[in-house]
Chains A and B, each alone.
Chain A
């Protein structure tokens, strides 16, 4: 074990001193934060600063839009006729970002034109549509019916059907949370893919530069294999932790200093009201989903359970997949050989995503249950199940799934050790299944 530790340390230091690793350590989280920044910036664009002029020559709206305005749009009224050219070129209108043309036909054709200087974000469009539509509704109720506005709203409200599982009537297991599990699962798969290839390349390199014969004269092949897997795995975990640290710090800075409005729930009060009336457009809007994810990520995921399960499955899946990458690296005739064997492994990695969708959309289906135990997909499926919510029976399922994955990791590491031992000193051949089976049978 001492030698495995020495080899693991060397592998770790090899990555650590590699310029590309150091670069990715810093550049990786920066790229993610820059990407997130632009995502938030884009989503935030014009939200609190859009100034809209309502050109309402007949004073149909009565200088009023809503009694509960959102912060995203600021309305002003202009009760004289205004055409878009005058708005575009007139100096006194420069302060406005858009104007809405209201005329008396609106009550018949329910159509208005909105002229903008810069295309508003989807979120702002939805708010504008929502608020103008509600104002037009109020006017129409007043003019054409004897109903009160509250009564009308009550009538208009669509039938709400709650689909509830008889085994989970309180709907504790919410599918939306599953996306967080999918995200965590994707991180595992990303790191397995990246560092699996590192294992393969490192083994092939040791083999091609012949250092492996020197090493095998002082360590057992299984010690060498384990040392390499652990060393490269530690560098993966270290990179993951550094990334997590930088990203968390970055997101906190975003929250506290840059995008304070986005994380303020009061910002979404109007939108929340909109969901109450089941406005379909709003329900399907990116803004609504965005709000939902902030809610999910910050409030509704049990990280006390999620993180330990994440690291357990991360480690077990890494060892499991590493055995395959190590085997290919050790048995391939050259560094370029073995490509044909990588494709099936990556296909199995991608199968995890399919398993993830199955777990989100049909968590009780046969396939979803199968994927929870299938070692190639267990990490992804289990993390989704955990993020959705764990019941008592679910805990046993997770434990069994983990133990089964661990068992498979040991079995495949043992197989990999045999292939490693028999293949590592052979070079220049073309790897094929026949050779693999021969080496597998050989003691």
Chain B
């Protein structure tokens, strides 16, 4: 578990992090969200001991973060970088040894990962000869080659094609299943919904929300329902009357539709169901959970209003 307590950092008197406190539970995938300039990279760099905080502390499993933790952390920076003139194998062995592995263990681990990602044939290829996607894979291996307990990934999916995105996501899930803690910063909200257990939202150097992904989405429920039915739209209009507002309509087959409706006033899910029943051939009604994108935008908007006030 990583416990961050009242962390602050500023550059040239401009705050990059202001009094940020959060707890990252072990064995989970933790998303760090926020618009550009929110302070995510600064927080990540402090966790990686690249920068020092002006104030506050970080504890890892109850101990203050120190050089002893280097071997426990893996890091994939947003701006990827490897030695271009070195080959894949030597690069990975070198970086693994910097993280505390012996030469023998480093070589064995590199072999394991290259085989796992089916790129053993690249072992002697120079980094400069790799395509961007190939280099991204190598960079990902560089972050995990020493089997860290904590993996910090800054925009881990950028630069990958859909096949490799799936590969990386499945690898992250597998690492979580092995008890590893993964902290990722991303703008890809779809992947956040898919793999993150917890998220923290940073905005203008401050932490404005933190919690489980599902809880945040539940909290942001806005009285919208998804309805799938067979019938016609006139019957639907009669059924909804003025009590529900039609937001979106999509034809999904012959006389089959999927609509999104929003409740007005104090109307409930049960009232919607009873209104529609008998008038349409209902296939499904469900509450529509807002996407993380919507949650994100709504929280930012609320924060902006609060700041203006």
Chain A residues proximal to chain B, CB less than 8 Å: 3, 6-7, 10, 14, 17-18, 206, 209-220, 425, 438, 443
Inter-chain contact A220/B67, CB cutoff 8 Å: yes
Encode B17-56 as 1/0 by CB contact (under 8 A) with A.
0000000000000000000000000000100111110000
Inter-chain contact B52/A218, CB cutoff 8 Å: no
Instruction: Point out the residues of chain B lying under 8 angstroms from A18, CB to CB.
Output: 85
Instruction: Point out the residues of chain B lying under 8 angstroms from A443, CB to CB.
Output: 52
Which among B48, B94, B139 is the interface contact of A10 at CB below 8 angstroms? B94
Bound CA span A437–B49, Å:
23
Inter-chain contact A217/B50, CB cutoff 8 Å: yes
Bound CA span A196–B83, Å:
20
Inter-chain contact A213/B50, CB cutoff 8 Å: yes
Inter-chain contact A210/B99, CB cutoff 8 Å: no
Inter-chain contact B94/A212, CB cutoff 8 Å: no
Closest 8 CB pairs of A and B: A210-B81, A211-B81, A217-B75, A217-B48, A218-B98, A210-B79, A213-B77, A216-B50
Known A-B contacts A3-B98, A219-B98; the reply to A211 vs B83 at CB < 8 A is: yes
Instruction: Point out the residues of chain B lying under 8 angstroms from A213, CB to CB.
Output: 45, 50, 77, 79, 81
Bound CA span A126–B44, Å:
78
Question: Is B279 part of the binding interface, using a Cβ–Cβ cutoff of 8 Å?
Answer: no
Bound CA span A143–B49, Å:
97
Within 8 A of A (CB), among B122-142: 139, 142
Instruction: Point out the residues of chain A lying under 8 angstroms from B75, CB to CB.
Output: 214, 217
Bound CA span A191–B171, Å:
49
Bound CA span A14–B94, Å:
12
Inter-chain contact B84/A214, CB cutoff 8 Å: no
Interface size counted on chain B using CB atoms at 8 A: 27
Inter-chain contact A209/B81, CB cutoff 8 Å: yes
Inter-chain contact A214/B81, CB cutoff 8 Å: yes
Chain A minimum-CB-distance residue to B73: A217
Instruction: Point out the residues of chain A lying under 8 angstroms from B52, CB to CB.
Output: 443
Instruction: Point out the residues of chain B lying under 8 angstroms from A438, CB to CB.
Output: 12
Inter-chain contact B79/A215, CB cutoff 8 Å: no
Inter-chain contact A425/B50, CB cutoff 8 Å: yes
Inter-chain contact A6/B98, CB cutoff 8 Å: yes
Give the shortest distance, in Å, between A443 (CB) and chain B (any CB): 7
Inter-chain contact B95/A209, CB cutoff 8 Å: no
Instruction: Point out the residues of chain B lying under 8 angstroms from A211, CB to CB.
Output: 81-83
Give the shortest distance, in Å, between B97 (CB) and chain A (any CB): 6
Bound CA span A211–B98, Å:
13
Interchain Cβ contacts under 8 Å between A and B, 6 examples: A6-B98, A10-B94, A14-B83, A18-B85, A213-B50, A213-B77
Chain B minimum-CB-distance residue to A221: B50
Instruction: Point out the residues of chain A lying under 8 angstroms from B73, CB to CB.
Output: 217
Inter-chain contact A209/B99, CB cutoff 8 Å: no
Inter-chain contact B99/A6, CB cutoff 8 Å: no
Instruction: Point out the residues of chain B lying under 8 angstroms from A17, CB to CB.
Output: 85
Question: Is B281 part of the binding interface, using a Cβ–Cβ cutoff of 8 Å?
Answer: no
Chain A minimum-CB-distance residue to B98: A218
Instruction: Point out the residues of chain B lying under 8 angstroms from A14, CB to CB.
Output: 83, 85-86
Question: Is B160 part of the binding interface, using a Cβ–Cβ cutoff of 8 Å?
Answer: no
Inter-chain contact A209/B82, CB cutoff 8 Å: yes
Question: Is B113 part of the binding interface, using a Cβ–Cβ cutoff of 8 Å?
Answer: no
Question: Is B264 part of the binding interface, using a Cβ–Cβ cutoff of 8 Å?
Answer: no
Chain B minimum-CB-distance residue to A438: B12
Bound CA span A217–B51, Å:
9
Interface contacts beyond A14-B85, A209-B82, A214-B81: sample of 15 additional A-B pairs, CB < 8 Å, sorted by A: A3-B98, A6-B98, A10-B86, A14-B86, A17-B85, A18-B85, A209-B81, A210-B81, A211-B82, A213-B50, A214-B77, A217-B70, A218-B70, A218-B95, A220-B67
Chain B minimum-CB-distance residue to A211: B81
Instruction: Point out the residues of chain B lying under 8 angstroms from A215, CB to CB.
Output: 98
Inter-chain contact B99/A218, CB cutoff 8 Å: yes
Encode B66-90 as 1/0 by CB contact (under 8 A) with A.
0100100101010111111110000
Bound CA span A219–B142, Å:
15
Chain A minimum-CB-distance residue to B154: A213
Chain B minimum-CB-distance residue to A17: B85
Within 8 A of A (CB), among B96-155: 97-99, 139, 142
